[in-house]
Amino acid sequence: MDSGSEVTEGMLTSGIKNLKFFKSIFKDSIVRDILILLVISVLIGTLLASSVSMAANTYFSKTLASLVGDYGEYDILLQIREENREDAAVHIAKIVNEVFPGGKIKEGPTITGKTPFFIALPEPFKTKTVYEELSKTFGGIPGGASVGVMTDPRLTVRGVPEGARNMLLDKISQMDGVRFTFRDGSSVGVILNSLDKSAAVNTAIKSLLSDYQVIEISFPVGSEPANPVRLGDSIAGAIQQELQLAYAQNVSVDGKNDDMTYMVSTMLELKRFLQAYGSKITITPAAGTELGKGDIVVFQGTAAEPLKAGGTLAKGNVVAEITAADTGGKVEGRITEGDASWLANPSGSIQGYKLENNMVSGQTATAVYKNPRQELGQALGETGKLVGQIPGFAQDAKSMSAIALGTLEHYDSGINALEQTLSGLQAAGGTIQTATSALAGIDTSNIRSQLDNSSNTLGSLVNTLQVVRLVNGDVDKTVNNVSGAQQNLITLSTNLAQLDSVADNARRAKSVLDNIAVNGQTSLNTLKAFDVNGARTSLASANSHLGQLQQIDVPVIAAQIAYLASAVPDLQDEEISHSINILDKFIAGQVIPGARIQILTTGHIDINAVAPVVHKQAGHNNASLYSTALGIIEPDPRGELYQVLIEVKSILAGMTAIIATILFLGLDHTGIMTVIRRKRLNQQVPATGWRRTVARLTGIFTVPERCYGMGVGALLLTAIFLLAGGGIPYLPWVGVPLVGAVLGFLVACYTEKISPIADEEVMAGEALGLSADEIMREIVIPGGRPGLMQKLNQRKVKFK
């Protein structure tokens, strides 16, 4: 027989078996009884599971309604201490009657010492203004009332920075389905028009929040900015400019509507001024002395007695607190008691002692200080003196400018005169050169030699005549004539010598005149290159500015400087220190960013790109940056509670379905599984050796009675789960049939112990020729556990 005929024969065999199975269903057989049992079991299990879950849900819902009212019934929740409940009830009723006429009040049960009061507002009072002023409205109730909003349907956006709430309120209020928005403490409350708009509004808000990014900048202890408000604004502006962002805003505080922000910012600036106004002390510890932040160093000051180890503080001592460590082992401090003016030797070092347990210790240090107040006073005094000199300076400068302008007016004529002078010098040089050239041709040396010889001869003659005159007195006239001739020759020789000197001087004069002409020409060229018009314009502009300077009311300025000098706070260092401490206490009590700045931006910016900008503005790299969402949507608490009740209902239905499945398996199907097991064991051929081990391992899940138990268990549990709406946390629907199969498997493993059968009665029935259906109906089921199967089988029992 070929393969085609074998396939055809197999299909016919399978079809015949299916026909027999369906035929057995419709005829009166045990198979039909089992199917009917399964259907009725599913219906009863579903009814039981639904009843239990519905009863529990109804109970919890009524309990919840009795506590907080029905969904949307109340709008405001007030929590009052139990001991003030009666007084608070009177005040609440009075406020509701006066402020919210038509409102309804309900007092809830006291829980953990707190009594809740529920208030239902009339529709006209459900507005943004009313909700934002609820804390003020009910602020005077005795018992420390805490006010909460219960209006439904509602959404809440938490984690929104203070400075971004107004923007978020405006944008959400414009969404479809939103009735109004309001500030709910540190969150944003959203009241919806109807519950069916909740999903759409939720999605729209999530989309809005995803469009923004909050960059948080955290500063560790010791690196906090002096004025975080201003630093945040500068960082936001720098980020927007350098990263070219469409939007960047400091949202650490609400800078538009919070007047306290401005006040705190002013106080921060005042603190910064006082810190700069106070004296600065730089302390150098001696060898063996250790000083850290917060330590105290005391100086003698104006005290009469000098400091010594083991002594106590005295009036007039100056006390300084260490505020920071400096480089090189030095520390910085500020005076907390006394004043810097009490310290001696302002230009040198001062001896101090470390204070321990209010006692002067042996640890010493030297200090130098700087008094900004004294320096400011000196600077203002010198400035006043300088201002007093301004009028005279301006007048003198203007006079000099006028003289310079007058000089510039004759500048061109001076240059022309200089040119003429240079031309004259050059002409004189030419004349001198001509004259000296003629003189240079005369040989005066020979003439002078002849004249000298003649003069000497005449001198000899005079001497001779002098001797003759002793004899003849008539020679006197001749002697005189010869002496006169000799003198004339000498004079002529002298004149000729002077003529040579004149020639030399003329040549030297010619050389000097030539140098003067060359230098004069160079100077003339320089003078011609000078920009006379530019200088004239500059002087005119200077004259104009000097005129404007003369128009300034210098006496008023001097008076204002004198007033400023007298108005500078005359504070001692200890007063400055105490003022700073008071400002710190006040600032610490306000909601302002101290160690954190929040910058709101659009889009998603990489933190690594923002870090350099932040570090540049902060002046150091000791800051951490994080990126967070603008806010987080928090579902309605009441809706979440009802959701929990729904989950509890499904859990109860699921647990009831499991219990019902176990009961049905144990009471109705264990007898059937016992019969299947008995039949399997009777027909089983005993195996030995390794085949027995393999058979036992493979038979764990494949033996008929266990397959029956797993199938029935999976069917019952899945059907009851589906119809009753059961559900168990962390159990997916695909796992429900698996759980049912596990239950059926466990029951099948102990089926013979749960519902044993009498083998003798079964064998007797078989001996009497009873069919399998009759044995089940007449022997097995009546002798089994009392259950639904037994009830259904009673009408079919023949042997009673």
| Domain ranges across the chain | 40-51+646-796, 72-151, 161-253+593-635, 279-370, 374-570
The string of pLDDT tens digits covering residues 532-559 is 566 667 767 777 766 666 666 667 676 7
Give the pLDDT band of residue 525 (cuts 50, 70, 90).
Answer: low
| Of 652 and 253, more confident | 652
pLDDT confidence bin for 671, thresholds 50/70/90? confident
Q: Does residue 488 carry a pLDDT above 70?
A: no
Residue range 374-385, pLDDT digits in tens: 767 777 677 777
Residues sharing a CB contact under 8 Å with residue 28, sequence separation 6 or more, in sequence order: 796
Under CATH, what is the fold of the domain 161-253+593-635?
Alpha-Beta Plaits (3.30.70)
Classify the phi-psi angles of 85: left when phi > 0, otherwise alpha if psi is within -120 to 50, otherwise beta: alpha
Fold assignment, 72-151: Alpha-Beta Plaits (3.30.70)
Q: Is the pLDDT confidence value at 471 over 50?
A: no
Other Cβ atoms closer than 10 A to 176: 9
Residue 722 has pLDDT above 60, yes or no: yes
Q: Is the pLDDT at 426 greater than 70, yes or no?
A: no
Edge-to-edge strands, sheet with 178-184: 178-184, 187-192, 154-158, 632-634
pLDDT value at position 25? 46
Percent of the chain with pLDDT over 90: 5
Q: Can you tell me the mean pLDDT for 664-676?
A: 83
Q: Which long-range contacts (CB under 8 A, 24 or more apart) does 546-552 make?
A: 546/394, 546/397, 546/398, 546/401, 547/398, 549/390, 549/394, 550/391, 550/394, 550/395, 550/398, 552/390
Say yes or no: do domains 72-151 and 161-253+593-635 share a fold.
yes
* 438 CB burial (10 A radius; 0-12, 13-18, 19+): exposed
**Mean pLDDT, residues 706-726 taken together:** 89
Which region among 222-226, 318-322, 789-793 has the lowest average model confidence (pLDDT)?
222-226
User: Does 50 score more than 50 pLDDT?
Assistant: yes
Q: Judge whether residue 675 has pLDDT over 70.
A: yes
The stretch 316-330 carries a mean pLDDT of 78
The structure tokens listed for 508 are 């030297």
The average pLDDT across 728-741 equals 87
Query: Looking at residues 618-629, what average pLDDT do you find?
Result: 82
Q: Which residue has the higher pLDDT, 200 or 409?
A: 200
Structure confidence at residue 734 as a pLDDT band (50, 70, 90): confident
In this prediction, residue 47 carries a pLDDT of 92
Mean of the per-residue pLDDT values of the chain = 75
Rounded Cα–Cα distance for residues 670 and 567 (Å): 104
Least confident of 27-36, 309-318, 723-732: 27-36
Confidence category of residue 290, pLDDT binned at 50, 70, 90:
confident
* pLDDT band of 141, cuts 50, 70, 90: confident
pLDDT tens, residue by residue, 196-253: 788 889 899 999 988 888 888 887 766 667 677 778 888 888 888 888 888 888 887 7
Which residues contact residue 424 at a Cβ distance below 8 angstroms, ignoring those fewer than 6 apart?
A: none
Give the pLDDT of residue 655.
Answer: 92
Here the tokens at position 256 are 């538009």
pLDDT at 718: 92
How far is 688 from 536, CA to CA, in rounded Å? 132
User: Which of 124-128, 220-224, 592-596 ranks highest by mean pLDDT?
Assistant: 124-128
Q: What is the pLDDT of residue 472?
A: 44
Which pLDDT band holds residue 371 (cuts at 50, 70, 90)? confident
Q: Are 747 and 778 in contact (CB under 8 A)?
A: no
Q: What is the predicted pLDDT for the residue at 468?
A: 46
At 180, the pLDDT band (50, 70, 90 cuts) reads very high
pLDDT of residue 649 exceeding 70: yes
- Is the previous residue joined to 153 through a cis bond, with omega within 30 degrees of 0? yes
Containing H/E element for 363? strand 359-370
Q: Which range is most confident: 117-131, 270-284, 635-649? A: 117-131
Residue 591 confidence (pLDDT): 45
Write down the pLDDT at residue 448: 62
Tokens describing residue 170: 């405006």
Look-up of token digits 């031309």: 423
Query: Could you tell me the pTM of the whole model?
Result: 0.48
Q: What is the pLDDT averaged over residues 573-592?
A: 67
Higher pLDDT, 481 or 76: 76
The answer, yes or no, to whether residue 191 has pLDDT greater than 70, is yes
Query: What confidence score (pLDDT) does residue 22 get?
Result: 47
pLDDT tens per residue across span 53-104: 888 888 877 776 666 666 778 888 888 888 888 888 888 888 889 889 988 8
Lowest-confidence segment of 160-169, 203-212, 509-518 by average pLDDT: 509-518
